[in-house]
A and B are shown apart, each in its own frame.
Chain A
Amino acid sequence: MNIYFRVAKNTWDEMMTYRFNFMMWRIRNVLQLLTVYYLWVAVTIHNGHIFSYSRSLILTYVLGVSFIGSIVFSTRTQEMGENINNGELSQYLIRPLRYLGYWFARDIGDKFFNISFALAELTIVYLLLRPAIYLQLNGTMLILTVVAVILAVVMNFFIGSLLGLVAFWSPEVWAPRFIFFTLVSFFSGGLFPLDILPVSLQHIFSLLPFGYLQYFPITIYLGKVSSQGILQGFTIAIIWNIFLYFLLLWVWRIGLRMYSSEGN
């Protein structure tokens, strides 16, 4: 366990080393947040609400989803593919650690660094813009939100790892990731709440994993999900996590059988 803690800490230290790059990355996140934030301000400026969202709810949604996105989507799994392609994987296979555990620890280090910056950014954005926001005071809802975020973190790790392991079969590791993130950027609820979509589409998206990465946790926080909806949401999210876990282990095993490297 201590090894993985050291890996997470090393990731933190590594990010401190490349501070300029990281700062630029965070500035980019703030710009993306401001674009979405002002769009929703503009569409609620006359009526004070849109779809089933009051202005305070939708602005809390935008800020909340940005914070949850910082936690869920900060990952290092994209380096897995490069690792396999350039043969560095061989070095890890002889080390006394689990390869997937190593990357999960890297993810955790990366997430803590991102969370600390995201908190600071959101505080500054809040102090500058002073939006009316919705504060959830129900302890149960807050706990359920945290649990939903943890499930989302694990799910994103499984999906990110699977996209990395594509490298066992193809040197093209960026294109599948690009497609995935294009889909995620719209269907995880990062730009808009999924319940503004037609009901038939909502039913389809409730069965896919995307919505459980951002939309589900934030709507629990906003108190927009019924008890039955929460139960159903957690059930589907857990089923996806179990499925992706076993799929990842299977892909890792057959990938390793295919793997070969020269000169390492």
Chain B
Amino acid sequence: MIVRYSIIWWKFTLGTSQIAFQSRFGAILFLLGKLLRYVFFLLFLMLLLSRTKVIVGYPLWQLMLFYATFNLLDTLPQFFFRNVYRFRQQILNGYFDNMLLKPLPSLFQPLFGGSDILDLFMLFLAAGFIMYAGIQSGHATPLHVFLYLLLICNSFVIALGLHIFVLGIGILSTAVDNTVMLYRDLTQMGRLPIEVYQEPLRGLITFIIPIGIMMTYPVKALLGLLSVQGIILAMVFGTGMLFVSLRFWQYALRHYISIST
């Protein structure tokens, strides 16, 4: 079944990639913009650290690891769930009805209906940078690396849950664009370790909207700074988030009124 869905996803992705490359000039500019944003913030952090040496107790390469992991976890859902950004239009023009008629799970095409191939470059860049920053940080044992990868998968599940919430809100109110951008802005707070933020904001973005768990727990595990309770808490949040979001999706589907057809 996974092979079948992978083939369908690949076909969707081929279609959206052809559209993206219709304007090669635009595609190059978007890629350049993403790269510049990535590099500029990195340089800014390095400039700050040239003066402070540490920020909230983390030296240069550990902070780079947080930043690189943020980039991976920011880009990975964007790559896979790119159709969420197109979902509002698909509800307004009635295409979502067409999706529901297809012999696919109702969430499949709204989530995986075509990845943005341009994000692949950023994904490889983030992965390479994580490896380099991880080596420079110098704390990692095989167990820590395993926990890091486990929590990265967990973060992806949290991101999946949050995107399902956005889709559900889209069905109920069509307000997808701003909601998904709100999610993006919240995740931007994960560019830095969660300790940067003071209470009550830190508690809010750790336990209510689990950006802290999603973005910073994997790195803390890699650095050996996360307790067993922290790892269990993260996994419970991930599983719980997916479960609640799927229930919310079902609720939203039950209240869906086709407004365009």
- Closest chain-B Cβ to A22's Cβ sits at a distance in Å of 9
**Chain A: CB-nearest residue to B51:** A50
**A31 engages B178 (CB within 8 Å):** no
| With A28-B178, A31-B189 as contacts: A20 and B29 at CB distance below 8 Å | no
Asked if A17 lies at the interface with its beta carbon under 8 angstroms from chain B, I say no
Q: Which of A1-52 contact B (CB under 8 A)?
A: 20-21, 24-25, 27-28, 31-32, 34-35, 38-39, 41-43, 46, 50-51
**A196 engages B47 (CB within 8 Å):** yes
| With A42-B196, A172-B25 as contacts: A35 and B52 at CB distance below 8 Å | no
| With A39-B192, A191-B44 as contacts: A175 and B51 at CB distance below 8 Å | no
Residues of chain B within 8 A of A31, CB atoms compared: 182, 185-186, 188-189
- Closest chain-B Cβ to A200's Cβ sits at a distance in Å of 14
| With A31-B189, A38-B201, A182-B37 as contacts: A172 and B23 at CB distance below 8 Å | yes
Residues of chain B within 8 A of A176, CB atoms compared: 29
Residues of chain A within 8 A of B185, CB atoms compared: 28, 31-32
Q: Which of B175-219 contact A (CB under 8 A)?
A: 175, 177-179, 181-182, 185-186, 188-189, 191-192, 195-198, 201
**A178 engages B33 (CB within 8 Å):** yes
| With A186-B44, A197-B47 as contacts: A35 and B191 at CB distance below 8 Å | yes
Residues of chain B within 8 A of A172, CB atoms compared: 23, 25-26, 29
Q: Which listed residue (B27, B51, B186, B196) contacts A39, Cβ 8 A?
A: B196
**Chain A: CB-nearest residue to B177:** A21
Residues of chain B within 8 A of A252, CB atoms compared: none
Residues of chain A within 8 A of B201, CB atoms compared: 34, 38
Asked if A171 lies at the interface with its beta carbon under 8 angstroms from chain B, I say yes
Asked if A183 lies at the interface with its beta carbon under 8 angstroms from chain B, I say yes
Q: Which listed residue (A20, A32, A174, A197) contacts B173, Cβ 8 A?
A: A20
Asked if B32 lies at the interface with its beta carbon under 8 angstroms from chain A, I say yes
Task: Give B15-56 as 1s and 0s: 1 = Cβ < 8 Å from A's Cβ atoms.
Answer: 000000001011101101100110011001001100110011
Q: Which listed residue (A34, A41, A170, A179) contacts B189, Cβ 8 A?
A: A34
**A175 engages B188 (CB within 8 Å):** no
**A42 engages B56 (CB within 8 Å):** yes
**B182 engages A27 (CB within 8 Å):** yes
**B33 engages A42 (CB within 8 Å):** no
Asked if A192 lies at the interface with its beta carbon under 8 angstroms from chain B, I say yes
Q: Which listed residue (A24, A171, A196, A197) contacts B182, Cβ 8 A?
A: A24
| With A38-B197, A38-B201, A186-B40 as contacts: A24 and B47 at CB distance below 8 Å | no
Residues of chain B within 8 A of A39, CB atoms compared: 48, 55, 192, 196
- Closest chain-A Cβ to B162's Cβ sits at a distance in Å of 15
| With A21-B175, A186-B40, A192-B44 as contacts: A38 and B196 at CB distance below 8 Å | yes
- Closest chain-A Cβ to B58's Cβ sits at a distance in Å of 10
Q: Which of B78-93 contact A (CB under 8 A)?
A: none
**Chain B: CB-nearest residue to A44:** B52
- Closest chain-B Cβ to A73's Cβ sits at a distance in Å of 15
**B175 engages A171 (CB within 8 Å):** no
CA distance A43 to B198 in the complex (A): 13
Q: Which of B129-188 contact A (CB under 8 A)?
A: 173, 175, 177-179, 181-182, 185-186, 188
Residues of chain B within 8 A of A178, CB atoms compared: 29-30, 33
CA distance A177 to B186 in the complex (A): 23
**Chain B: CB-nearest residue to A174:** B26
**A25 engages B25 (CB within 8 Å):** no
Residues of chain B within 8 A of A25, CB atoms compared: 178
- Closest chain-B Cβ to A71's Cβ sits at a distance in Å of 20
**A179 engages B29 (CB within 8 Å):** yes
**A42 engages B55 (CB within 8 Å):** yes
**A51 engages B51 (CB within 8 Å):** yes
CA distance A197 to B23 in the complex (A): 36
CA distance A172 to B198 in the complex (A): 42
- Closest chain-A Cβ to B232's Cβ sits at a distance in Å of 28
- Closest chain-A Cβ to B111's Cβ sits at a distance in Å of 21
Q: Which 8 A-B pairs have the closest CB atoms?
A: A24-B178, A175-B29, A172-B26, A175-B26, A186-B40, A31-B185, A182-B33, A28-B185
27 contacts between A and B (CB under 8 A): A28-B182, A31-B182, A31-B185, A31-B188, A32-B188, A34-B189, A38-B196, A38-B197, A39-B196, A41-B198, A42-B55, A42-B192, A43-B48, A43-B51, A43-B55, A46-B52, A50-B48, A50-B52, A170-B23, A172-B26, A175-B25, A175-B29, A175-B30, A179-B32, A182-B33, A191-B41, A191-B44
Supplied contacts A31-B186, A172-B25, A192-B47, 4 more A-B pairs, CB within 8 Å: A20-B178, A28-B181, A43-B48, A175-B33
A interface residues, Cβ below 8 angstroms from B: 20-21, 24-25, 27-28, 31-32, 34-35, 38-39, 41-43, 46, 50-51, 170-172, 174-176, 178-179, 182-183, 185-186, 191-192, 196-197
